A and B are shown apart, each in its own frame.
Chain A
Amino acid sequence: MDGPVRRRHPATDTARSVFQESSEHSEVGTFGSRHFTGSDRGSVELLPQCIRSSHHAQGWKKGFGIRPMMDAVLSMPSRNQTKLGGNCCETCCFSETAPKDSDKALLVVASNVTVFRRSKSRSGTKIAAKPAKLLQESKKEATRSRQLSDKAPLEKLEKVLTSPRKALPFLSEAADRATHGLHKPIGLVLTSAYVLGTACQLSGVSMGGTWGPAAMGAVLGSLYAALNRFGMKRFWRTPHAPLNVVVTGGTKGIGKAIAREFLRSGDRVMVSSRSVQAVRRAMNELREEVGTDIWIGGIDCDVSSPASVQRLADGAASQMGSIDVWINNAGYSGSFQSFIDARPDQIQEVVQTNLLGCLLCTRAAMRLMAAQPRGGHIFNMDGAGADGLPTPQYAAYGATKAGIAHLMGSLTSEGASGAARVGVHCLSPGMVLTNLLLEGASDINKQIFNILCEQPETVAAFLVPRARTVAARGEAGRYIRFLTLPRALLRFITAPLRANRFFNADGEAVYARERDRILGQRAKRTERLAAAAARRSRNLAFAYSASVATAYAIIAADTLARVKP
């Protein structure tokens, strides 16, 4: 179906923006405020919630909806700013802007900005009728509560006593909030009690019998859990408003997983990739996986072309209003082969995609973010070689990643002298089981992958909350690493536990496909792994181990002191 023309800005005229493709189901996405500048029509600031559905497109074609309102807007003096929307009504319409210039069209949506809601109605009239209906309902509610307060106090008291939850809903809500997830640290409490109790018994020290140390362990475990719970709320700052995120190369692998994770956190995400089909497919899959009440956009972009990158930046800025987080994820590894055998065009592509692409995207994002009052944050993906260690079999890839990791320091000190707060950071995903890695991998490589690799979802679940915290706190120059050296060593020590995790002894893949992992039978497991990765904290883990060890030391010292006299 031929959707409404939505090219709004001369600069984005050539953009093959697939975000706006018309779909069968009706969706709602919040746009935030933005300027659509029609060159000859003045500018209209929109606070819209875009409702996309087939009926709207048809309605637009037929010319009903709030066409009169649109006409009013369009007939306004040119170069004039008009503010539409706010909390007026949940309606939308598409309209061609200038009758003279049919190429420039304007999408006008006026509705509540902050609320995400999915429109289920199939006709424009129904939508228009909704606010009135809501108003009626709220009136009814008001009269009901007045009736309640008019009742005799005794009757009210009786109701409170018989069913307190119903009578005092705020109480039960508070209780729910307080008790939510309290069962989770049970394992931790029991383990701590068991560890400390057993350790004391085995080593022959004791304090108040067997149960003393066990109780102490339990107390320690629960203290740690409480601290963790408090820390999660206190230190894991979430941004005040949903973030506007751009993920380059966000249609597969780790990029897609990161996009998914941001979407689940309620952020708006723009994914890009070289092919339009890949972008469209990824958008559909993400909608299916996360839910339809999300804002997701997509623009095809070749990161090694300055014009294409500029188009992506302009498109993202005009569709999302501002860009808070830009993730330079697009990368190419060539394939797993010696440098001497690599084709020159492969080397060229590696250099242009990884290093030049990263530089061009970073520059475009910096320019945009420097002009924004909120600033912004750029995250570059590092990779093997970023630490400066040799990377035989993918020499070109390693060299580019070493360069990318180096970029962070330079740009941070460049930014320190500037006025705008643009943070440049590094995300280190470690080894992720994606095509990038598996291309040309040998059987020995695959056994190593069993030990060190993780699925993209797990890694993204670790990286995204930390990236969001960085954005919320406005930090500069953070290096977020999933696979640190101690972690890698630990994995090698526990290697037998990880045998056949992804590949069996013959090097055949034994892991579930992405769809199965996200939506299928493996979804639960994926979620569990992701949750474990997200809450990983080195400092807390250290604090916990140290406190258990200290408790043991105190008990031992106490026992010794009592034995002596």
Chain B
Amino acid sequence: MAIHRGAHMRQGEAVTTGIGVTRSGKDLQPPYNVVITGGTKGVGRALAKEFLRAGDSVVICSRDSDRVNGAVRELDGFSKAEEGAGRIKGKVCNMAKPGDVASFANYARDTLGTVDLWINNAGSNGYKYKTLAESSDADLINIVETNVLGTMLGCKEAIRVMREQRAGGHIFNMDGAGADGDATPRFAAYGATKRGLVQLSKSLQAELKMLSINNVGIHNLSPGMVTTDLLMAGADTATAKFFINCLADPPEEVAAYLVPRIRRVPLDSRTLGGAIGQGSYIKYLTKSKAYGQILARLLTGARKDRFVAED
């Protein structure tokens, strides 16, 4: 993609600046400019790759500069090799620090031109599965700050940037186990934070409606069970192994499912008046799909020992 820095902008025309497409028109159209928080590994990284493949420009972040540089280098290599792929940039940002998040949002806006899709993906469960009584101070603080505070600050900064854009934008919050209200023993803190995030999305949708900000949409993403470090750290009991084999999928598969659906949201969620209507909830692992897989496993033994050896 050609980069024309400081190109003259005309109303209603897409002009490129930075690595993305600066939109001055009213409609969001592909290719999109995407921000993925915590996009250096796991689902975030897979999503980033999938967006790049679709031709979108992506900005990712992480707390760790080595991880950011590593991920950007690798994904940049991918985008150069692939025909019609978008560009990628990255920045170090601790999502729990208000100052960091604000400057990251500004960086993303300056780099991309406009921020069309913002995915609050950064999350943690301390990579441990323990009862609450056994978990350490650092883990609890990390979980609460990354998952809840990080997402809240991400939403806040994303709204700040997007509401000034004519075409607005869409924010996606990642849910996780516990989001539906089911109990999450051995990762109680993680479940509680994810439960809170689903409620947060609803509150923000209601608030934006109250303030008649109609160019910003808030949505939820449910990746289901993904075979990332986050999940595999818990593969130590027979039940956990059963469910991981039965229900989990590799991040690439999940991302390949989610990204086309995320990219459809800007078009689908628009009302006739041009404003953004209902928020959507994109789920990879729906209840019926999960039950189907469990049933298949019990009847035919499908997916046994898929990721971890059982017995």
Contacts and interface: CB of A to CB of B under 8 A. Distances in A.
B70 interface: no
Contacts of A344: 98, 101-102, 153, 156
Contacts of A48: none
B202 interface: yes
Given A340-B160, A388-B198, A402-B195, A411 B141 contact: no
B181 to A, nearest CB: 6
B299 interface: no
B203 A348 contact: no
Contact of A370 (B102, B133, B137, B186): B133
Chain A contact-residue range equals 35 or more
Nearest to A367: B133
A359 B211 contact: no
Interface stretch (A198-206, A349-357, A541-549): A349-357
A181 interface: no
Given A355-B196, A406-B178, A406-B195, A399 B184 contact: no
What does DSSP make chain B's interface, helix, strand, loop or mixed? Answer: helix
A361 B240 CA distance: 28
B98 A348 contact: yes
Nearest to A338: B207
A403 B145 contact: no
B192 to A, nearest CB: 4
Contacts of A392: 203, 206-207, 210
A406 B181 contact: yes
Chain B contact-residue range equals 35 or more
B197 A399 contact: yes
A388 B181 contact: yes
Given A359-B192, A360-B137, A406-B191, A339 B207 contact: yes
Nearest to B96: A348
Contact of A356 (B102, B141, B203): B141
B198 A412 contact: no
Interface string B190-220: 0111011111101111110011010000000
Contacts of B186: 414
A401 B197 CA distance: 11
Interface in B48-101: 98, 101
B189 A359 contact: yes
Interface in A400-431: 400-407, 409-414, 417-418
B236 interface: no
B12 interface: no
14 contacts: A306-B137, A339-B156, A339-B207, A351-B144, A359-B140, A388-B195, A390-B203, A392-B210, A399-B200, A402-B199, A406-B191, A409-B184, A411-B188, A413-B183
Interface of B: 98, 101-102, 131-133, 135, 137, 140-141, 144-145, 148-149, 152-153, 155-156, 159-160, 163, 178, 181-189, 191-193, 195-200, 202-207, 210-211, 213
8 interchain residue pairs of minimum CB distance? A344-B98, A403-B196, A409-B183, A403-B192, A410-B188, A395-B203, A390-B202, A406-B195
